[in-house]
């Protein structure tokens, strides 16, 4: 009933907006907050005066938090100042939600990239991880400016931070900055499956980009001269998991990895069955 009422109010102008927003200040009406937040989103510009209140809901329960975030994203650029204020919130979970919401808004939030980048040094690993992802979401070119700061996060103790950083650096590479390719690929020997999975996804995406007819010559050059050789060398790593990851990575690079097919052939005799399977699949992908 509360949901239907809140949505109905969403089409009746300034007075309705004021009435809906008043629900957000009433703790006794907390169950109506998610519906009120969505109703304000339906009001568009009429919701702008209540953006700080909406942003404050990002520190609330999951349903209310998600509804408020959706509305802030719908409103777009005018939501950004309120979200930037939340980057200084004392609660890490609120800072994370503010970062993710800014990332969803994307390019319209890019003018505040410096405020976002400051959180690369946040005390909470979840915030550092969200910051890396948000930098890439705002605009890949902005992530390029902070590439060196991102590379430092690859040495973090927290796998979540390393994985998020790999994804962000993948965005940096797509934007045309390849100076940190080797730093990225050395994560093939990371001992955390989440980190390796993130790297394999990034390499697969770069491999697909390099194979297109409009491919970037610089990208192809770096993948051929730096990424593929380093990856091939990892096929001789002590860890079977690292050898599997390296084989999969070479497969994702396709024809670019063809000069290293002989090393993959050697892996067909590996003592580990998973490595043998990965090498066989990779050979099919590189065309040998």
pLDDT in tens, 228-269: 998 999 998 888 999 999 999 999 998 899 999 999 999 999
For domain 180-288, the CATH class is: mainly alpha
Which one of 61-75, 115-129, 197-211 scores highest in mean pLDDT?
115-129
* 137 compared with 244, residue with greater pLDDT: 244
pTM: 0.78
- pLDDT tens, residue by residue, 34-86: 888 888 878 878 888 888 888 888 887 778 888 889 989 998 889 999 999 99
**Ramachandran assignment for 175, one of left (phi > 0), alpha (psi -120 to 50 degrees), beta (any other):** alpha
Alpha-carbon gap, residue 69 to 282, rounded angstroms: 42
Neighbours of 193 (CB within 10 A): 12
Alpha-carbon gap, residue 149 to 176, rounded angstroms: 17
**Burial of 90 (C-beta count, 10 Å sphere; 0-12/13-18/19+):** exposed
Q: What is the pLDDT of residue 215?
A: 58
pLDDT greater than 60 at residue 175: yes
Q: What is the pLDDT of residue 176?
A: 63
% of the chain at pLDDT higher than 90: 37
Parts of the chain belonging to CATH 1.25.10.10? 87-177, 180-288
231 neighbors 258 (Cβ within 8 angstroms) = no
> What is the topology classification, in CATH, of domain 87-177?
1.25.10
Which one of 8-12, 157-161, 177-181, 214-218 scores highest in mean pLDDT?
157-161
Q: What is the pLDDT of residue 87?
A: 95
pLDDT greater than 80 at residue 172: no
Q: What is the pLDDT of residue 31?
A: 79
With cut-offs at 50, 70 and 90, classify the pLDDT of residue 142: low
32 neighbors 21 (Cβ within 8 angstroms) = no
> Average model confidence (pLDDT) for the chain?
84
């Amino acid at each position: 009933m509360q949901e239907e009422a809140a949505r109905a109010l969403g089409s009746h102008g300034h007075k309705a907006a004021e009435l809906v927003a008043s629900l957000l200040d009433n703790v006794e009406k907390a169950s109506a907050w998610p519906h009120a937040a969505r109703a304000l989103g339906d009001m568009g510009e009429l919701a702008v005066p209540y953006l700080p209140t909406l942003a404050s809901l990002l520190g609330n329960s999951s349903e209310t938090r998600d509804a408020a975030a959706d509305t802030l994203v719908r409103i777009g650029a005018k939501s950004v100042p309120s979200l930037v204020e939340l980057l200084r919130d004392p609660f890490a979970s609120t800072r994370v939600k503010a970062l993710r919401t800014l990332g969803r808004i994307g390019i319209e939030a890019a003018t505040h990239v410096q405020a976002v980048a400051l959180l690369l040094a946040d005390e909470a690993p979840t915030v550092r991880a969200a910051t890396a992802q948000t930098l890439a979401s705002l605009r890949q070119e902005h992530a390029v400016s902070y590439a060196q700061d991102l590379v430092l996060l690859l040495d973090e103790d927290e796998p979540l931070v390393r994985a998020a950083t790999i994804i962000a650096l993948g965005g940096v590479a797509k934007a045309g900055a390849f100076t940190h390719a080797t730093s990225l690929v050395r994560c093939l020997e990371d001992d955390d499956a989440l980190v390796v999975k993130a790297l394999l996804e990034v390499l697969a995406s770069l491999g697909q980009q390099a194979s297109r007819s409009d491919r970037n010559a610089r990208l192809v050059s770096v993948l051929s001269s730096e990424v593929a050789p380093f990856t091939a060398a990892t096929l001789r790593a002590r860890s079977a998991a690292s050898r599997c990851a390296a084989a999969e990575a070479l497969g994702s690079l396709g024809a670019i990895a063809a000069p290293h097919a002989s090393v993959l052939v050697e892996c067909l005799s590996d003592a580990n069955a998973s490595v043998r399977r990965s090498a066989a699949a990779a050979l099919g992908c590189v065309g040998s």
